[in-house]
């Protein structure tokens, strides 16, 4: 087996990226780097970045490219990412960020870019049922059978709806995805660097499709 992988997963918010990335990070033993989770952590810690990011996130906008590129540059320079690789989730979100990432990774290029493809109407339904642990970020889906108050199976934290999962903010984020992030498909696709994976099946089936796509890209032929 080739050690590690350097992977980007693109896709609409609510396509199941977060859950799949966590599982993939265990499978390939590489860190899962979620820029949304990094920003939410700084909101929880009350840092200067967190105070700025809170407003942007809640209004469903994007944090500025310079800030995001700086965050990712620092994170990818850490030992775990340099030695084993990483799964980037939520970055790049604009063509500017993708161009900056190509520069950052020039000496150790990304192995695979995956578009986890789920149509818009399906993700709206999924996001409105999404809940997340306030402390460790584990994702859950409402089934109607949860105990109240709902606590996290992993760490015992409160399980809540993300402030940016309100219907208005979700629709704004999806509009933003079409205008800002969808051009990435062309950016990577035209360079022959993109693998599209159908994300509409059960989580286990989608996980199988993802690992098949990643293994094929790591071991061509």
Instruction: State the residues that interact with ligand AMP by CB under 6 A.
Output: 13, 35-36, 39, 56-57, 61-63, 68, 90-91, 93, 97, 164, 173
120 part of the active site: no
The distance of closest approach from Cβ of residue 11 to ligand AMP in the complex, given in angstroms and rounded to an integer, is 10
Q: Specify the residue, 61 or 111, whose C-beta has the smaller distance to ligand AMP.
A: 61
44 part of the active site: no
Q: Specify the residue, 173 or 209, whose C-beta has the smaller distance to ligand AMP.
A: 173
Token pair belonging to 94: 């604009």
Closest residue to ligand AMP, based on beta-carbon distance: 36
> Any alpha helices (H) in the chain, and if so which ranges?
17-28, 35-45, 48-58, 65-76, 79-84, 95-104, 120-128, 167-176, 183-189, 203-218
In this structure, the number of other CB atoms found within 10 A of the CB of residue 73 comes to 14
Pairing of strands 32-34, 85-89: parallel
Task: Choose, from 17, 54, 131, 209, the residue flagged as catalytic.
Answer: 17
130 part of the active site: yes
Q: Specify the residue, 97 or 197, whose C-beta has the smaller distance to ligand AMP.
A: 97
Q: Specify the residue, 24 or 57, whose C-beta has the smaller distance to ligand AMP.
A: 57
CB 31 within 8 A of CB 23: no
Q: How many angstroms separate the CA atoms of 32 and 78, rounded?
A: 13
73 part of the active site: no
Catalytic residue list: 17, 93, 130, 162, 173
């Amino acid at each position: 087996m080739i050690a590690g992988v350097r992977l980007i997963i693109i896709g609409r918010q609510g396509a199941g990226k977060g859950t799949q990335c966590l599982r993939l990070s265990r499978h390939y033993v590489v860190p899962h780097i979620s820029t949304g989770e990094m920003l939410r952590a700084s909101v929880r810690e009350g840092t200067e970045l967190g105070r700025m990011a809170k407003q942007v996130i809640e209004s469903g906008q994007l944090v500025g490219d310079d800030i995001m590129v700086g965050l990712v540059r620092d994170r990818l320079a850490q030992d775990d990412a340099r030695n084993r690789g990483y799964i980037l989730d939520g970055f790049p979100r604009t063509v500017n960020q993708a161009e900056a990432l190509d520069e950052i990774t020039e000496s150790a290029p990304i192995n695979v870019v995956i578009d986890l493809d789920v149509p818009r109407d399906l993700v709206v339904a999924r996001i409105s049922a999404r809940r997340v642990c306030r402390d460790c970020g584990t994702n859950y889906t409402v089934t109607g059978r949860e105990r109240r108050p709902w606590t996290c199976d992993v760490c015992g934290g409160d399980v809540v709806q993300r402030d940016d999962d309100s219907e208005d903010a979700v629709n704004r984020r999806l509009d933003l995805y079409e205008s800002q992030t969808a051009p990435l498909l062309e950016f990577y696709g035209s360079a022959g660097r993109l693998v599209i994976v159908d994300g509409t099946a059960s989580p286990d089936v989608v996980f199988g499709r993802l690992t098949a796509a990643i293994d094929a890209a790591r071991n061509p032929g």
